[in-house]
Amino acid sequence: MKYKKIVEGIFIKRPNRFIAQVLIDDTEETVHVKNTGRCRELLIPGAKVILEDCSDNPNRKTKYSLISVYKGDILINMDSQVPNAVVFESINDNEIPLIGNINHVKREVTYQNSRYDIYFETDRQKGFIEVKGVTLENDCIAKFPDAPTQRGTKHVLEMVKAVEEGYVGIIFFLVQMKGPKEFRLNWAMDKEFSEAVKLASENGVMVIAYDSIVGEDSIELGEPIHIDLNI
């Protein structure tokens, strides 16, 4: 995925979940943050950030959207809308081998009381994919979630039911950076979600994690990384 026009800035502060104050060309700007998660370990005063220039959209209240941030030498994409798009494009291009050859794929499909990110069909199977974007990293280990997610827990448990009814169920963790060598559940942050994912894995739901190749104006699917679901 490519962003049309990007600019660099310096993060100042984040008054609420939706906006941040960023210094761009020595001018302080209010920008939209494309991630409502906490991201406290990323959005640190003085951090170099990358923004999408959306000034050609007359309906916007802000000219820029914050899409990624440097954590040391690692560029982390934190655009929460990107993971679904990256995985969807990769499936269309048959870049995820374990899913097989797809002949039909669709985004945002409801099953029971959950809306899953991707629905797909092969010659023999039908299935759902729930995509989770991962931005939390420490010592080359990526973790999810960075905040409690009751909605995420519900989706995972209902995916177990879908598998029991014959569908393929996949929980896809897209690590929005290059660098981490392993993915782990963040048991300390959300025990219920972590227990749900481990239970799902033990009951036929596939849990996979890929890293990403991140540029200042792009992000694409990287390679599978090791997963440890234990506490």
- Residue ranges of domains in the chain, CATH in brackets: 6-77 (2.40.50.580), 82-228 (3.40.1350.60)
pLDDT in tens, 178-200: 999 999 999 999 999 999 999 99
The pTM of the full predicted model, rounded to 2 decimals, is: 0.94
> Rounded to whole angstroms, how far apart are CA atoms 227 and 163?
21
**Residue % of the chain over a pLDDT of 70:** 100
pLDDT in tens, 129-138: 999 999 999 9
Residues 218 and 2 sit within 8 Å (Cβ to Cβ): yes
pLDDT in tens, 145-176: 999 999 999 999 999 999 999 999 999 999 99
Report the Cα 226 to chain-centroid distance in Å: 17
Q: Cis link prior to 145 (omega < 30° from 0)?
A: yes
Sheet holding 226-228, edge to edge: 136-138, 141-144, 182-185, 226-228
